[in-house]
Chains A and B, each alone.
Chain A
Amino acid sequence: MTADILIQVLVSGLLIGLIYALVAVGLTLIFGVMDIVNFAHGEFLMLGMYASFWAFALFAIDPIVALPLTALLLFAVGVIVYQTVIRRILKAPMLSQIFATFGLMILLRGLAQFFWKPDHRLIPHSLVSGNIALGPVQFGLPQFVAALGAVGVTGALWMFLHRTRLGTALEATAIDREAATLMGIDGQKMFALAWGIGAACAGLAGGLIATFFPIFPEVGSNFILIAFVVVVLGGFGSVTGAFLAGIIVGLIEVLGGFLVGPEYKTAIVLSLLLVVLLVRPRGLLGKA
């Protein structure tokens, strides 16, 4: 094995890792703010992909151009889900909360299958297509743009959380709900905001990968398992942690798959989950 191949594998791992990070960031944000695990997060990703697909199929808008639209749409979906479902189970036992989001997952998947058929679809000619070759290393432009987008979105989210009044309020709610309420922060509004942003992140990830990944109703299930591993590794609720963990998981998956054998790549990633839970249950940057 030559150094070229190794570099190529690392680049591929980094690119997919950044996508994992973006998917996981939304998941971890929702958990951090209100301690609810959203099992329907993969379906938000799926909705984002379909939004891009229909924007392309019906109005010939490229997925990359449609990104702001996709984000807005999914933000609305997140807020609606919060207002109609999540708000009612805030004080319910954890098991009920799990079942509620799990049921939501099945509902969204079923609706997608009903309205858009279980077919696999693809966006044939995106603005971003073709390959980039840097010496011996080759990668697809769609994958590169998606990774770049993931960095941008995660960066913007970090800025929002740490540099704006509204973001700081959200962070405050995440740290201590009671205290934040006493400071005059409207908890309900913050929760709705968290769901909106969380869903928008998944939607953006969907829009970014729609340029190269097949689109079908169960597509979320391919990503959600890995997103959970990323959230655990990064530490529940930590956006920066999820970002780093996404890259690590992507690298480990692709490199491990290449070196050990692709049949073990999922096993390698899931063993990582076990190791983290045993050795450092709070993850890389999680709250103790």
Chain B
Amino acid sequence: MRFAAAITEPTRTPTRRQTIKRMLAAAALLTTTALTGIGIGAAPAHAEDEIRIGVIYPLTGAAASTGVELKAAAELAAAIVNKEIPAPPGLVAGIGLPNLKGAKIKLIFGDHQGNPQVGATEAERLITSEKVVALTGAYFSNVTATASQVAERYGVPFLNGESSSASLTQRKFKWFFRTTPHDDLFVGNFFTFLGDMEKKTGDKLRTVALFNENTLWGNETTKLQVKLAEEQKFTIAEKILYPAKTTQMTSEVQRIKAAAPAVIMQSSYLGDAILSMKTYKELGFSPKMLLANDAGFNDSEFLKTMGKDGEFVISREVWALDQAERNPLIKQVNDLMQKRSGVNFNGNSARAFTGIAVLADALDRAGSTRPDAIREALQKTDIPASGLIMPWKGVKFDANGQNELGTGIIVQVQGGQYVTVWPFDVATKPVVYPMPAWDGR
């Protein structure tokens, strides 16, 4: 108060008393600054026993069930880093944080409710009032976009583990890193897979029908597929963008049937995925291969409703539980998840787990909680495949913060299960090819 009064006083020749007053005020001001300075200096010392990480997920709203799974996976990763649970040997971040004198990480959760606006507000709250040193999340690509913008503004590292929109790492952000591969790579995988299948079977798989629903997702996918098909010398025998809300798909399927492609590449939501399969069967049409772009075909309801008619569909995935047969680490970590939360990992929760593990690895190498030190450590990340529960070749970020060693896998429905069939070196079962005709099943 004293100080405030001093500066609002009109300027005039100071009397002796006033001079003393001002000197006192200046001293007070200096003291305050010094104290604050000590306060700032003291913060990392305090943080070294508890490193706060902000985690933004949809914990309420339509995607709440997914959000809860993601949260459980992140908490499992934190428990392993903090050595509350013994880590399987070889797992990244399993050694804890020795360079930070064995500090513990604390996850502070934010709930974005599936809303980009709320996601940005939560990011702001976590940074300014919860004083987190880094952020992760947010599952929905559009929420990740807004929340990471806030992190970029404050200069706080944002590590995204499970949003796949390609545009996120095209923004050239300084503080944004993403471990999961993005959509473009998944679509690109289809063509690599077809090339590999040609070599393996000696069959020609160069005529492709694109069969995609007509919202943003289907349109973007189609554009990319057309581009890749041209580059890699595939012929597009038919290109169909259909309305997802429809009562019949006979005109679509008839057109594809008439074009007689070797392969159908299909992007559908659940309802139309089911209806199209029914229509293929009704019209007795089976291509050599049906390559689905995740979504409806990988929905847990798809196989439940289709039963045996869903067999032999090939789809892309980010993760599959059958990978545990190949990588013992997956089984061990999945067992921990089962014990702790009573559920198996899936593509989303495995990626959320990996996100926290990669962040903890960087924190340890940074040996500090200063944002720029963490950022530098993230840039130097080089985790081998053997430390991960993902089917990737490792984790290493490019200049845009995208993990360049991430890969997708391709699964096929065999015996009511999604089994990994590609890349061949991580496959657990051979591809059933060609897809058996409907009357030959």
- Chain A residues close to B by CB (< 8 Å): 1, 5, 8-9, 12-13, 16, 19-20, 119-122, 124, 131, 133, 138-140, 142-143, 212-214, 216, 221-223, 226, 253-258, 261-263, 265-266
Q: Chain A residues near B243 (CB, 8 Å)?
A: 263, 265-266
Give Cα A138–Cα B251 distance, bound, in whole angstroms: 14
Q: When the two chains form their complex, are residues B282 and A222 in contact, meaning their CB atoms are under 8 A apart?
A: no
Q: How far is the CB of A225 from chain B (nearest CB, A)?
A: 9
Q: By the criterion CB–CB under 8 Å, are A16 and B248 in contact?
A: yes
**Do residues B305 and A9 form an inter-chain contact, with CB atoms below 8 A?**
no
Tell me whether A213 and B275 are in contact (CB under 8 A). yes
Q: What is the predominant secondary structure among interface residues of chain A facing chain B?
A: helix
B250 on the interface (CB 8 Å rule)? yes
Bound Cα distance A257, B214 (Å): 14
A residues less than 8 Å from B251 (CB atoms)? 9, 12, 253-258, 262, 265
Q: How far is the CB of B219 from chain A (nearest CB, A)?
A: 10
* Mask: chain B, 239-260; 1 = CB below 8 Å from A; 0 = not: 0111101111111101101100
Which residue from B214, B240, B275, B281 sits with its C-beta under 8 Å from A214? B275
B315 to chain A, nearest CB (A): 17
Bound-state CA distance A134–B275 (Å) is 23
Secondary structure type dominating chain B contacts: helix
**Do the beta carbons of A143 and B307 come within 8 Å of each other?**
no
- Assess the B240–A258 pair: CB atoms within 8 A: no
**For residue B306, which residues in chain A have a CB less than 8 angstroms away from its CB?**
122
A1 and B242 form a contact (CB under 8 A): no
Given known A-B contacts A124-B307, A216-B271, A262 and B255 have beta carbons under 8 A apart: yes
Given A214-B274, A226-B247, 8 other A-B residues pairs in contact with their CB atoms under 8 A: A1-B258, A131-B281, A214-B271, A254-B251, A261-B255, A262-B255, A265-B243, A265-B246
Q: Is the CB of B245 within 8 A of A222?
A: yes
Closest CB in chain A relative to B211 CB, distance in Å: 9
CA distance A226 to B257 in the complex (A): 26
Q: A120-B270, A214-B274, A261-B240 are in contact. Are A12 and B248 (CB under 8 A)?
A: yes
Q: Which residue on chain A has the smallest CB distance to residue B246?
A: A222
Question: What residues of chain A lie closer than 8 Å to B249, measured between beta carbons?
Answer: 262
Residues 216-245 of B, flagged 1 when their CB comes within 8 A of A and 0 if not, give 000000000000000000000000111101
Partner of A263, one of B241, B258, B301: B241
A9-B250 in contact given A212-B278, A216-B271, A262-B255 (Cβ < 8 Å): yes
Q: Chain B interface: which size bin?
A: 20 to 34
Smallest Cβ distance from A119 to chain B, in angstroms? 6
* List of B residues within 8 angstroms of A265 by Cβ: 243, 246, 251
**Which chain B residue shows the least CB distance to A262?**
B252
Determine if B301 and A120 form an interchain contact, defined as CB atoms under 8 angstroms apart.
Answer: yes
Interface residues of B in 164-191 (CB under 8 A from A): none
B interface residues (Cβ-Cβ under 8 A, vs A):
214, 240-243, 245-252, 254-255, 257-258, 270-271, 274-275, 278, 281-284, 301, 305-307, 438
**Bound-complex Cα distance A119 to B247 (A):** 18
Q: How far is the CA of A119 from the CA of B252 in the complex (A)?
A: 25
Assess the A138–B284 pair: CB atoms within 8 A.
Answer: yes
Give A254 to B279 CA distance when docked, in angstroms. Answer: 13
Contact yes or no, A133 B284, CB < 8 A = yes
Q: Is the CB of A122 within 8 A of B305?
A: yes
Return the chain A residue nearest B285 by Cβ.
Answer: A138
The distance from the CB of A110 to the nearest CB of chain B, in whole angstroms, is 14
In the assembly, what is the distance between CA of A124 and CA of B307, in Å? 7
Query: Please, which residue of chain B has its CB at the minimum distance from the CB of A122?
Result: B305
A134 and B246 CA atoms in complex are apart in Å by 27
Q: Is the CB of A263 within 8 A of B281?
A: no
Residues of A within 8 A of B305 (CB): 120-122, 124, 214
> Which listed residue (A9, A143, A213, A256) contacts B254, Cβ 8 A?
A9
Residues from chain B with a CB closer than 8 A to the CB of A20 are 247
Instruction: Please judge, given known A-B contacts A16-B248, A120-B301, whether A139 and B282 are in contact too, CB under 8 Å.
Output: yes
- Which residues of chain A are near B284, meaning CB under 8 Å? 131, 133, 138
Q: Are B301 and A119 in contact (CB under 8 A)?
A: yes
A5 near B241: Cβ-Cβ < 8 Å: no
Compute how far the CA of A131 lies from the CA of B242 in the bound complex, rounded to whole angstroms: 25
Which of these, A122, A138, A263, A266, contacts B282 with CB under 8 Å?
A138
Expressed in whole angstroms, the Cα–Cα distance for A197 and B434 within the complex equals: 49
Q: Is the CB of B240 within 8 A of A222?
A: no
Distance between Cα atoms of A9 and B307 in the complex (Å): 28
